Amino acid sequence: MWRATVLTLFPEMFPGPLGVSLAGRALAAGIWALEARDIRDAATDRHRSVDDTPAGGGPGMVLRADVLAAAIDAADIASGAFSSEVETGSREENATNQESRRPRLLMSPRGTPLTQERVVRLADGPGPLIVCGRFEGVDQRVIDARQLEEISVGDYVLSGGEIAAMALIDACVRLLPGVMGKIASGTDESFSHGLLEYPQYTRPQIFEGRQIPDTLVSGDHARIEAWRRAEAEALTRSRRPDLWAAVPAEKKPSRGSKKTTDG
């Protein structure tokens, strides 16, 4: 079973939106599992302290390395994953353990941007352990010692990593077998082929004087496919030139080709 473990200071935020719609139905059906663990459970003082002032001065507070490391290790032990960074066997055995453990992610605005390609890889695995940061950030030493992969959902700053974690989990869960009604529904959407998705239409045929493009009601599947491809390319060129630049030259239309459209 695909399992998401979330380390947070606010476990009551979960499942939140993940408990409704596609993700919620799949959760109730046992297609995937969610565990929200309170980082404060790893604190050792009576105040359950998890943060301290930043070394070198500055505003805000920083999540402590020792507390967060203990929370990560406890989550690893609970899930039966490899939990110790201390080499107890041969180098080959430890390398195998490192490769087979669940991905450890830290939601962070300075992280690597989350892409559909990364989501697909995460959905194909056992499910991640996700750390949700708060305050001014996380002590770098625990990021290094527990090999946390920093992931960003956009160039903006949130109050904490919980909403970002929900977005990542939702993106993965919808790709799990049995979650979406039709397998094809996950193959023609934005980013699946390096392009944004083409425009969608449905009844009524005419809405406030605007018609559904003739091609889409022609019944000619070849024309429809060509129209959708052309529209996806045009949208990607205009809205996401960075994505368009990454499309291989052989997959781009030739300069002399015409955009298939209904005007």
pLDDT one-digit tens code per residue, 60-82: 999 999 999 999 999 999 987 44
Instruction: Please give the average per-residue pLDDT across 12-28, as a whole number.
Output: 98
Question: Is pLDDT of 13 > 60?
Answer: yes
Percent of the chain at pLDDT exceeding 90:
80
Instruction: Please give the average per-residue pLDDT across 99-126, as a whole number.
Output: 93
Instruction: Please give the average per-residue pLDDT across 90-103, as a whole number.
Output: 54
* DSSP label of 26: H
Tell me what the pLDDT averaged over the chain comes to: 89
Instruction: Please give the average per-residue pLDDT across 209-229, as a whole number.
Output: 97
> Do 83 and 203 belong together in one domain?
no
Report the alpha-carbon distance of residue 25 to residue 165 in Å, rounded: 19
Question: Is pLDDT of 185 > 90?
Answer: no
Question: Is pLDDT of 91 > 50?
Answer: no
Can you give the pLDDT at residue 182? 63
Long-range contacts, 27-32 (Cβ 8 Å, 24+): 27/173, 29/178, 30/1, 31/1, 31/2, 31/173, 31/176, 31/177, 31/178, 31/179, 32/1, 32/2, 32/3, 32/4, 32/127, 32/173, 32/176
Q: Which of 261, 243, 39, 220 is nearest to 134 (CA)?
A: 39
Among the three residues 127, 145, 173, which one is the final residue of a domain in this structure?
173
Whether 229 maps to a domain, the answer reads yes
Answer left, alpha or beta for residue 256, where phi above 0 means left and psi between -120 and 50 means alpha.
alpha
Whether 184 maps to a domain, the answer reads no
Q: Give residue 204's domain range.
A: 190-251
pLDDT one-digit tens code per residue, 170-182: 999 999 999 997 6
Strands (E), the chain: 2-8, 32-38, 51-52, 62-63, 104-113, 129-132, 149-152, 206-207, 210-211
Number of structural domains found in the chain: 2
Can you give the pLDDT at residue 235? 97
- Residue 5 pairs in a beta bridge with 35, 129
Specify the CATH number for the domain of residue 132: 3.40.1280.10
Greater confidence (186 vs 33) lies with 33
Can you give the pLDDT at residue 104? 98
Whether 63 maps to a domain, the answer reads yes
> Do 11 and 111 belong together in one domain?
yes
Answer left, alpha or beta for residue 248, where phi above 0 means left and psi between -120 and 50 means alpha.
beta
Can you give the pLDDT at residue 228? 96
Specify the CATH number for the domain of residue 204: 1.10.1270.20
Report the alpha-carbon distance of residue 68 to residue 219 in Å, rounded: 58
Greater confidence (96 vs 40) lies with 40
Greater confidence (188 vs 158) lies with 158
Instruction: Please give the average per-residue pLDDT across 17-32, as a whole number.
Output: 98
